[in-house]
Chain A
Amino acid sequence: MKTRRILPLALALILIVGMLAACGADPADIGPTATPGALPTPPVVTPPPIIEDTPTDSVLLELGLDENLRFLETRKITVAVFDRGNDGGSPPDDNVFSNWIKEQVLETHNIEIEWVRIGRWTGTDDYSRLFAANAVPDIGYEYDFEIFMRAFSEMGGILDMYPYLSEYSNIFPHLFDFLGTEFIYWNMDPETNAVYAFPGKVMEVSPVGTFMREDWLDILGLDEPRTIQEFEDCLVAFKDNAELLLGENADRMVPYMMSHDVRWQYRPLLDGYLPSGLSERDIYVNGSLEQLLTHPANKETIRTLNKWYNMGLMWYDFGLYTNETLGSIVDDRIRQGHVGAYNGNIDAPYRGGENSHQAKLQEFVGPDAAYIAISPFPNDSGEVSRLISQAVDRFIFFPSTNTEPIASLLYIDFITRREVREYLQIGEEGINHILHDNGAVEKLPATGEWIQNSPDNIDYTITINVSNAAPSLGDPLREGLSRALAFPGTDSAYVARTFAVNQDPATLRAMPNFSLGTIEAESGIIVDLNTKRNNMFVNAIVAAPADFDAVYDAGMQDLMASGLRAAVDERIARWELYYGDAEFISE
């Protein structure tokens, strides 16, 4: 099959149809179990109602605001902004967009803002230093709630936003309209009602994708694999036909590429081993570490990888390249055309323009070489069911040194306005994007002062994270059309296929938000446990098959003894306290 030759118009239509199917519902709205529906509402957390009435004059006066929510006297706040230090980028605190925000916020709310740079890749270290100096910006954001936010809230360093959010919700209409109470009270403590942070919304949560060489399947006359066994058969066929497929480079054949980051890349395979009747209790009780580590399906998944490794289907060196400076070696092997299958983001082969995996592959191997998205890991019921993470993004918090919580929330309300975030995402027409007649937005690689330091300026639009190359325009059709233009140089059929395969709502199951409060036993140990888990996975995979059980079990015992047992026990106790012996809590 040579899908590249299909008419571009037809492919764009496929893409749009796929997009409409996939994006019709917010991932947060993809329900648990087999019945996609509303986000589960745990009975233990009852968010306060949103105040619909217009704020009274006395309330406004008390807060120092006029009827247009503009402060009578200028307020000053400091706001964090990620500094990515990207080549050719502009100063994140002094560029067209940051200055536009400053002007607009001053004009709209009479709030003067000062940016504080936080290293994108050193954020938690930077915040630690700023916390120690009581100099954290009034509005901070960071991805890591469970470890970072929790540690500093326990130290008394983070402000409880609940009183302001619950009492003045009618002052922040855009924020409540966009995030809703589900997100704003996402981490509300069920006992104290404290809200130390709330997350931004990820507009599209995707599972990890699986990709396979389409041209190799064609050469060997193989069908696209649809089961774990068929997937293995394909890998074996690639290995056995290495000379045919790679010629003099046959010894560099890697049928299935995986890096040391097993816990993420094995996710599609794990979905195949998780039982179809996986209960919400199972998800909660096994949820101390990512991927439900304590669930038995993990061991079977790693056992399969151990088998493949010992069959020579995986890269012998995969566990060694942990240093980020050498991480590109894995990508390079994929680009060079030595890899039969791999896992990655759902657009992994196609993102990156002329440097994408696919573009480089075709440059090195030829125009027929291509990776296609596949879905070969059904569960015990024969259906593909993919447990995807919650649609939460960075967590926004105020340090306890923040003396302007209302001004800070008004800033967030401003940045959440539809027109504001859309402008920041797509920038200036003719400079940052082209607006097509059909409404599609084609992003342009702006340079100089108009450059966007982060994709779609997500470092400023902190309540929203668009993903997978399409700006959030509030219209699935426009978003689909825009996405079709977002992978220059890649046949859109491949892009359409990966979104159709990986965003099929019938196969996606979103993790519920249980909101049962913090687990004391997990305090201060999660990073350590994650490291132990990662090491255990690699060591179990490279073990001789006869040693697999011993290596895996020893690793799990170490994890359990290092605090995981206590965490699981506390989760079981907490579940029983709130839900008794119920297995499911969703409607």
Chain B
Amino acid sequence: MTKKEILKNIENNLGDKTSLGQGCKENQYFLLVRDKRDIKEVMRYLFKDLGARMNIMTGVDGRDSVEVLYHMSWDKVGLMVTVKAFAEKPFPSIDSVTDVIIGAKWIEREIYELFDVKFKGHPELIPLLRSDTRPADYFPFKREVKEKHPTIREKEKGTKEK
């Protein structure tokens, strides 16, 4: 399939749940999922039917919700599509995609450990990188916790000369 055919298939089959937009580089696209409950179906379509490969997932902490990004790529044609879903605060949660893509097991554990996002249906949701001496309820990337870190505090106050 060529790049144009893949993008056309995405628009035709997922157009009612998502919206597609182009990024800064001409082969990087962003797919916004309007309702987070559709995420499993979107991922199943991209992974099984269109044959994408998942690179990684990312979490970004916003004001009202945590954005969960899924980076997918098609190597034969050189196309990258990033799927965005929003998990609303105060108790962010989203469906897990591990029964579609087995390779997502570890990254979902890491996003849970850093951002406190619950992935429903994950076989073993325990922290991946934690140690015995760091407290279990310390989520380093949550906005409230991050703002207290000394390097971020200096940046906000503007004391470091840049």
Query: Are A and B bound to each other?
Result: no
Chain A residues with CB under 8 Å of chain B are: none
